[in-house]
Amino acid sequence: MLFIIEWNDAAFRNRNIHKNAIITAIQAFNGCQPFQRNLSTITGSTNAAPSESIFIISDTRNNDKVQIAEDIVKYLRETFFQRNRISLGRVYEIQATRKGFFEVREDRDVF
């Protein structure tokens, strides 16, 4: 499952919240890691910096990926959501349901 955040960078300055605090909180969940792609060049392959917007959620021994995503959204909402304040961004979950088919869900009022 992909957990994708479309950040509203202007809101961070407005609300005095650091993006890294949210990224660190997301990565603290077991089964969640930032997406990192390898870049191929003429001289070989190198790793790009981990994404700040795309996270991969995998099943763990104790929880499946859907539950982990729900737990992350719940935590973010409880920790960072402020009613009547500009949103820090949008959160999407994308899951392959079967070959060639994807389910996309947007979570609202997360932060």
Q: Is 95 helix (H, G, I), strand (E, B) or coil?
A: strand
% of the chain surpassing 70 pLDDT: 91
Q: For the chain, what is the mean pLDDT?
A: 91
At 64-77, the pLDDT tens digits run 999 999 999 999 99
From first CA to last CA, the distance across the chain in angstroms is 21
The pLDDT value recorded for residue 52 is 94
Is 95:66 a contact under the CB 8 Å cutoff? yes
Whether the pLDDT of residue 45 is over 70: the answer is no
pLDDT digits (tens, 9 = 90+) for 25-39: 999 999 999 998 776
Residue 81 confidence class, pLDDT cut points 50, 70, 90? very high
Residue spans per domain, the chain? 2-107
